[in-house]
Amino acid sequence: MARKKPQPAGEQVSTSRLAAFSCVALASLCLGTPAAAQQGFDPRELSLDQTPLFSLDSPIGPIEYRAGRGLHFGRTGLNVGGFTTVEYEDERGESGELALDGVNFLVLLQPVDFVRGFLELEIDDIFTLDTGDGSIDHDPDVVVERVFGELTLDDSLTARLGKFQTPVGRWNLVPAEPFTWTAFEPVVVETAFDEHTTGGALYGTLYPEVGSLRYWVYGQFFDSLDASEDPDPLDRSVGGRLQYDRPLGGWSLGTSFLGSELDDDWSFLGAVDAEAQFGTLLLTSEFTIQEGDIPERDLWSLYLQGVWEFLPKYLPRVYLTARYEHFDRPGDSEDANLGDFGITWIPRPYIRLKANYRASDDQTDDVSDGLKVNFSFVF
């Protein structure tokens, strides 16, 4: 992660004012929610068009393309799709940048119901324009974001081997730009743990009398594959996650644990998270704490995020977003309160446009203020 320039003291915003502003924004979302919260509307449930845009008969069955679902190759179980994002970022004190953030290709092979292989390849650093001096930077590289194989017994048990998203909290389960509500991700997701794990996992869903219980048990026992260099990638790890869902009640609770080893030192993370639906308002919160013998990973963080479709009758699929986050590294003065405010438009299930402004009461190595706008397309 690039080191952030310290914010001049004269430009700092008081902690109390920022926290109050964030709380007022979230409260406004709550007060604007219709009283009929029981309708259980979930703005993420946007059904994709089942009609193929392209279809060709072949000996292996119809080869079909559906927008947002990719190209399906008949009876082979092979599906190829992906997504891309164009992004503009104007960080305080820096020139604005317009970039083709990357193109990701998603390849799924499921020849039979109980066997599945998955590959995500990203071509990154394709194109960046500095709007200050007009310079253009491009250094394309191919990165293996995810690659794994799975064997499934039934809903209650699946075994996975390969590189996959580290199942800590909610955001990191599906963090790609076309599937998130805000252009900025929470600071804790960028700093607390490695985005990916290279190893194995057992996971599944159990069904008690009411609701459902999802579980993960996983660990890293291979060297990291195409890992980010900041922070230093972990050598080994072991973790678990539990998530209880009550779809009819419109709420969900989760908890995560992760033990991480780097150069024979260990760090331990604990987290709890929750999500609740109130009519057209979706609230999400995560609390994370991490301590141990890896000082650069010691931290605690909390965020509360609201997403509200405020005029569904007149502006369908237009959402206001607001998030308050506190981020603190114990033992130093680099703690910050952040407010993130913006709007998201989903004209089609496979198209997402987001604009967000983030403000904080302090600029640190982990936190910066500014505007970010991105346009994502799933193909």
**What SS3 class is residue 9?**
helix
Q: What's the pLDDT band for 45 if we cut at 50, 70, 90?
A: very low
Nearest to 220 by CA among 192, 199, 196, 241: 199
Does 2 reside within a domain? no
Residue 24: pLDDT over 80? no
Nearest to 42 by CA among 243, 280, 254, 252: 280
At position 29, the amino acid (one-letter code) is: L
Q: What's the pLDDT band for 112 if we cut at 50, 70, 90?
A: very high
Does 306 reside within a domain? yes
Does 59 reside within a domain? yes
Other C-beta atoms closer than 10 Å to the C-beta of 349 total: 18
Other C-beta atoms closer than 10 Å to the C-beta of 252 total: 20
Does 4 reside within a domain? no
Mean pLDDT value of segment 111-119 = 97
DSSP character at residue 234: P
Residue 333: what pLDDT? 64
Residue 41: pLDDT over 60? no
Does 60 reside within a domain? yes
Residue 9: what pLDDT? 37
State the Cα–Cα distance between residues 231 and 163, nearest whole angstrom: 18
Task: Supply the CATH number for residue 279's domain.
Answer: 2.40.160.10
What are the start-end ranges of the E strands in the chain? 54-56, 63-66, 70-73, 78-91, 97-112, 115-130, 136-137, 141-154, 157-165, 196-206, 212-220, 236-246, 251-262, 265-278, 281-292, 299-308, 318-328, 335-348, 351-360, 370-378
State the Cα–Cα distance between residues 175 and 146, nearest whole angstrom: 13
Does 334 reside within a domain? yes
Range of the domain at 138: 9-378
How does pLDDT run across 137-159, given as a tens digit for each residue? 999 999 999 999 999 999 999 99
Residue 18: what pLDDT? 45
Whether 179 and 104 have beta carbons less than 8 Å apart is answered as no
Total tally of structural domains belonging to the chain: 1
Does 3 reside within a domain? no
